[in-house]
Structure 1
Amino acid sequence: MIELVKAKLADIPAMQELVASEVKEGIILDRSEDEVATNIRSYVLAKVNGRLVGYTALHIHSPRLAEIRSLIVDEDYRGRHIGQKLVQFTLEEAKDLGVKEDVLVLTYLPDFFAKIGFKEINKEGIPEHKIWTDCIKCIHFPVCNEVALVYKI
């Protein structure tokens, strides 16, 4: 059974281990342990029998815009709708927090998010502060192949 729980500081080493190969390949941005700790309240974890099998984060940019970040599911657990459950959890959290308009995602898997109701947008519509705080740290910057999508709240 999949359990969705909010992350705790003690979860950070397992989170870093789970995402390491995706970070190395440039699929997910590298976030230091300190950065994860600073944003620990943003993360939701998927656990099976107490084992971390996936996670994501909901980052709030403004009262109108939030972003789903760092979605990862252990390769052995893919295809079990864990990613979808994590995304649905964050969308509900965005609504509960009062995000007024959109939840953004930048991804190499646009079809996954489209099935959940996200719509592709032009990357030029992404707030500039997003580009300069996150994208500039990416190994692919400035040549980005990710697709931007939004979910209307």
Structure 2
Amino acid sequence: MKIDYTKAKLSDIEKMRELVQPEVQSGIILERSEDEIATNIRSYTLAFIADELVGFAALHIHTRYLGEIRSLVVKEGFRGQKIGENLVACAVDEGRTLGLQKVLSLTYKQSFFERLGFVEIPKESLPEHKIWADCIKCKHFPICNEVSLIKNL
């Protein structure tokens, strides 16, 4: 089965929102509006099998030195096939190309990211604007069980 990894286009937004909806409803991933996705469309890498969207992730830039892998999702039934790992690898490679020094992730899947070379850091070390731009929108805020991890590039 051939998996194509490609940068998102504006025409992909509806499919992206449909794919992530179960994870949004369960509180695992923050909901992003169509406009928010459109504004950040260059951040997303998508995974397709034939014409079916089976996963995506975003590399969000926080500072000149720090990026974040966020909105990582793989469609149920396609998990366990290294699609998530490849999406993270695409984001890490893009971060290196841009000149980032580190990428972080805030996740419930600690062991997944640790296998990819991320190490846990205290949540208090996250950029303050991350908390007030994203975390405040979460239904779990301020009681959060996510783990903060970082990878040096």
Give the TM-score category using the shorter length.
over 0.9
Percent identity over the alignment is 58
User: Over the residues paired in the alignment, what is the CA RMSD in angstroms?
Assistant: 0.5
- Give, in angstroms, the shift of residue 64 of structure 1: 1.1
Q: Which residue of 1 aligns with 2:18?
A: 17
For residue 96 of structure 1, report the CA deviation from its aligned partner.
0.1
Residue of structure 1 equivalent to 2:115: 115
Shift of 1:102: 1.2
TM-score by length of 2: 0.98
Deviation at 1:73, TM superposition (A): 0.1
Give ranges in structure 1 of 5+ residues lacking alignment. none
Q: Deviations over 1:45-89 (max 9, x none)?
A: 000012100000000011110000100000110000000000000
Is 1:94 the equivalent of 2:68? no
Q: What residue is the counterpart of 1:4 in the other structure?
A: 5
Report how far residue 139 of structure 1 moved: 0.5
CA distance in 2 between partners of 1:144 and 1:5 (Å) = 32
Count of residues in correspondence between the two structures: 152
Q: Which runs of 4+ in 1 moved over 6 A?
A: none
Amino acid in structure 2 at the alignment position of 1:12? I
2:27 is aligned to 26
Give the TM-score normalised by structure 1: 0.98
**Counterpart of 1:126?**
126
Superposition deviation, residue 3 in structure 1 = 0.4
Gaps of 5+ in 2: none
